[in-house]
Amino acid sequence: MSTRKTPRGVPRKAACSAIAFQGARGAFSEEATRRLLGQKVEVLPCERFEDVFRSLKEGRAEGAVIPIENTLAGSVHENYDHLQNFELPIVAETHVRIVHNLIARQGVSFSQLKRAFSHPVALNQCLDFFARNPQIERIPFYDTAGSVKMLMEEGLTDAGAIASSVAAEIYGGRILRRSIESDRQNFTRFFLLRKPEYARRYPFQAGANVPWKTSLVFTTRNIPGALFRALSAFALRDLNLTKIESRPLRGKPWEYLFYLDFLGRVDSPNAQNALNHLREIADMLRVLGCYPKGA
């Protein structure tokens, strides 16, 4: 991509071709990044979500991958806030099943393990495993992938770490037990973001039969039935919703922000009519992106 012709004033070669994400190398966000852009993608791990957005905005990264909702834990409101503040469009989505693996150094066997390090959320998602293996103590660590890195660097032979298979691969760990999470219905949805000019020049490619999705945020006036009227913009045009969520606006009782996804391309006449109709009803409306529906 960096060698294609670009309009005047836009650098011919991107300063950086990495994809930013939050967490250490091997985090589930890296798994999502590979799923979206291939195994050889260059990555830029960041400490906070805000850093991820800032890296893309300021050109230290060429794209960003962020989690937006999880089947057990719900929507990541913080990232919805950043999507609005940074105005970086969504160009693709994907879903990753959160699989926790017990990982150790090469040559270490399961019977040697006395401790397992990981992020407390991951440890809590493996409680059935720990109930069956009371000889292994749970030890909280800063993040899932980072616990594998630490294990390898410190040379621990009585300890394992719980993380993704990508983390095992990156740090050279050995997977002793696969998929030890209690609930297999644990999926996270991720968005790929680009800079607006990049998204316009190189639209994300999708197969002919893949439906498109459009994501919006809007607020409605403080009147009864406002949401009902807002949804009429879609229902009257047979546009199918795939997500609707209200979020109270803090400090503004009775006012709500809505997240809405519908199936359709934002540039289709039907969607344009729906958005024009919604603008009559909504106080604020912002399109966050239009992208091929993920598998």
Both tokens of 105, joined, read 């150094």
Burial 35-68 (b: 16+ CB within 10 A, else e): bbbeeebebbbbeebbbbbbbbbeeebbbbbbbb
What residue has token string 């493996």?
126
Cα–Cα distances in Å, from 128 out to 18, 110, 168, 180?
A: 38, 17, 22, 8
Instruction: Cite the active site residues.
Output: 188, 190
Site for its own copies in 187-206 (CB under 8 A): 187
- Asked if 119 interacts with its own copies (CB under 8 A), we say yes
Site track 45-64 with its own copies (rule: CB under 8 A), x = hit: --xx----------------
Minimum CB–partner distance for residue 80 and its own copies (Å): 9
Residue closer to its own copies by CB (options 171, 234) is: 234
Choose the binding region for its own copies from 56-64, 105-113, 120-128, 268-276 (rule: CB under 8 A). 120-128
Q: What are phi and psi of 152, to 5 degrees?
A: -70, -45
Among 241, 252, 270, 283, binds its own copies (CB under 8 A): 241
Residue 226 token pair = 């406002």
- Note whether 185 binds its own copies by CB under 8 A: yes
Are 95 and 106 within 8 A, CB to CB? no
Say whether residue 127 binds its own copies (CB under 8 A): yes
C-alpha to C-alpha distance for 99 and 189, rounded to whole angstroms: 14
Residue count at the site for its own copies (CB under 8 A)?
Answer: 47
Instruction: Scan residues 76-95 and list those touching its own copies (CB under 8 A).
Output: 76-78
| Residue 41 or 244 having the CB closest to its own copies | 244
The CB-based long-range contact list for 119-123 (8 Å cut-off, 24+ gap) reads: 119/143, 119/144, 119/147, 121/73, 122/162, 122/163, 123/162
Q: Does 143 bind its own copies (CB under 8 A)?
A: yes
User: Residue numbers of the site for its own copies (CB under 8 A)?
Assistant: 47-48, 69-78, 119-121, 123-124, 127, 138, 140-143, 185, 187, 224-225, 227-229, 231-232, 234-235, 238-248, 250, 254
